[in-house]
Chain A
Amino acid sequence: MSKQYETVIGLEVHVELATKTKIFCGCSTEFGGAPNTHTCPVCTGMPGSLPVLNKQVVDYALAIAIATQCEVTPVCKFDRKNYFYPDNPQNYQISQLYLPIARNGFVEIETNSGIKKVRIHEMHMEEDAGKLIHDEWDDTSLVDFNRSGVPLVEIVSEPDMRSADEVLAYMEKLRLIIQYLGASDCKLQEGSMRADVNLSVREVGSPSFGTRTEMKNLNSFKAIARAIEAERQRQIEIIEEGGEVIQETRRWDDNKEYSYAMRSKEDAKDYRYFPEPDLVPIVIGEDWIERIRSAQPELRTEKLMRYKKEFDIPEYDAKILTESKHMADLFEATTAICHKPKKVSNWLMVETFRLMKETGTECEELIFSPSHLADLINLAENKTINSTVAKEVFEKIFREDIDPNIYVKEMGLATVNDEEAIEKAAKQAISENPKSVEDYKNGKEKAIGFLVGQTMKTLKGQGNPGIVKEVLYSLLNN
């Protein structure tokens, strides 16, 4: 019988903060600028330049620390981490080793196996490196320093996770907290949220940890799940064959679903950390913490509880709607205008998500205004337009944020309630379809459906379906 193994996983999550400027200089952090346009002597490590800390970075880091139950370090400071690499113009990264801004926090995650605490070992502020682009044909790499000096918070968990499911739940939890705080947009694909996975395996019941590896270059939740499974298998195979896992950093190639060793993992001493002499310590008093705490927005967990109390919508809907702060904001703003939470939830859950899927739109990219959705809901509710027309109008709102009141008027989409017009159309349908009329009279109830369809066709789909049916029944039965 083969041995049972347990996977032990800890995460280092890097989050790019949503500041306008870099951590130590007044260069823009905007994504996608032409190469090296957002650079200055500070973020390219020119001799004699002096870094000055962006206060917003500390505010965001504190907000994340408080939301993840961390203890804030009353006096924290920066250190230099020395290494040589072309994306690092200073030959050191300004980071925090000895006194990181916060320690000892936790978040609660929920998976199929229940609720579990994942502890946070520490959280520190640091600067991002530049970007290397590798030339396929030439034996060179190109360096763009626009990202150099963009502020990061690194969140280091304890090795508390045991499966890919738990890892994904943990990351999702962090993403939601940080997005709600507005501290980062947390987009894995764009690299504003990155995770390095530290993984080891051990026999079930073993009291000590196995040797761990660190996996880098994980750009999506799917890549993370695949990399965890592959690395678990790789380590188990090594152990089963009597070998030893080497402590090293590996790079995941998601196309090949395979990882390869990058370098043997350096110890902290190899980085020759020392205190950053160009930056003074940061003293964080209770008043500062209190200021951040009192400005803290409602987080997802609290929002969910409030929705349960305030709005009569299914719990499932509440969960989905609050998965993105943008969607939740849209829901609340629309509901505040039309006071129909259930209807708003339905439009978001069904039509909005359908169109998002169809057009590949993310929640954050939705352009329509809450007032237009609210107006549409009112138009449908007071039967000015029927449900088919409402869906068509919504698509226009979704794509172009048109004003539904004006649009319905201009396009003449209002439901025809005029009984005379409906009767005229119904009579036409009856005279043109004697077969259906006969079927109906012979007891085939269903034949009325066809006549309703024909009447609606004459009315360009805008007939009030209730009245159309009523009129047809009375014409046929008399």
Chain B
Amino acid sequence: MLGSSFVEPADEDFLRTFYQNLADRPLEPQNPWYVPIYSGPASSNADPVQRLARGMRWTPLESAQLFSGFRGTGKSTELRRLRLLLEQQGFKVVLCDMKNYLNLSTPIDISDFLISIAGALSDALAEDEELLGEDVAERGYWVRAVDFMKRTQVNLGNLQLAAQIEDASESLKIGLRQDPTFKQILQEHMKGHLGGLADDVRMFMAECVKAVRRKHGDHRNLVVLFDSIEQIRGSSVNDAEVFSSVETLFVGHSDKLKFQGMHAVYTVPPWLKIRSPGVSKLFDSSFLLPCVKVRQQDGKRFEAGLDVLRTIVTKRGDWQQLFAGQEDFDHVLLQTGGYLRDLFRALQNMLMSAADRGSMPIDREAIELELSELRNDYLPISIADARWLRKVARSHEAELPEHGELPELSRYFDTHLLLCYRNGSEWYDLHPLIREAVDRVVKREQGKKADS
């Protein structure tokens, strides 16, 4: 569209609808807007969801796999696709959102993690009429856990004092989720009983598998997707401790996270593979969802990735009405680095800009203004951050200097200062919007040093 025209009421409808279509929400795979990002040439034809499903089909009896994704790369959508795919292939799939069971801001320990995942599965099976619709082994896991603690004489104050075991199990559930002190006491007390607890959880998980098979037939394998574990993170006070606890959990206790007859998928933070490159080998497989690649490592445009993004946006609205030409649209795609949430946010703001200005298509100045607003979200960048980020930009490696710096690296991923791409193996790059700011900070710092 070459000429510029004023926004008429009909166009306002177009802008509004396009804006609404870009709202952030996970998609079911059947949704007409869904675009298979990770199954085509844009992802080197290495679809992590297909691979996860294949891993389960090909691994006899049980498996434990890791699934990782950066925020806004479509992890929730892809997990939904995995669930659909597996269900179509005859699996019985349970999705456990672990943020309802874990305290995501305190260190995690294998004992409370085991209790939490068993409890989460127990609740999910009991709640889902189609799947099971009743407590496993009549009482469910929470009551069983309290029993275990009483048997092993774990003194947990209120748990012990509770008159009814149901009250105690509710206290346990809430305590794990909301009370760091309770969790700490539990962790201390369970240290001498870890072997027993792990066996008890294994027994319970086996009961779950059997219960599902009893209802649906022996050929129905149970898959449990433990989601949101990747969101565990500390605060400035305890981040190192929390990161270390997650590493210990998956590296030191991987054997306790595999259950007979069950395919388990754990969502883990993306930094786990960087900090512990060997972690993948401890599990049956490990996959990471990268951003959609828009440039190669050498900076050249990656047309397959741009094509995917164009398709994604086209399904939501006619970008050709908004932009004067593909060059402008591609500029937005390149500047948002294949990070979908930023792309959608930028487009939404540009739609508003068109409405504000009362004309379409929007000009380059308006595009730059909106991109600049988005850039501001990432600023300011400290000198130390800029130095590290610039090193990553040059080497495309994480450049983790030592383990103590992991919270910083995690923060770069969490806040998308760093984006991850894949050509066979993963590589990293700066968010395109901050590239100039990073260069500027580093150069200014170098200039100051030279002056002094």
Chain B binds chain A: no
Residues of B within 8 A of A (CB): none
Residues of A within 8 A of B (CB): none
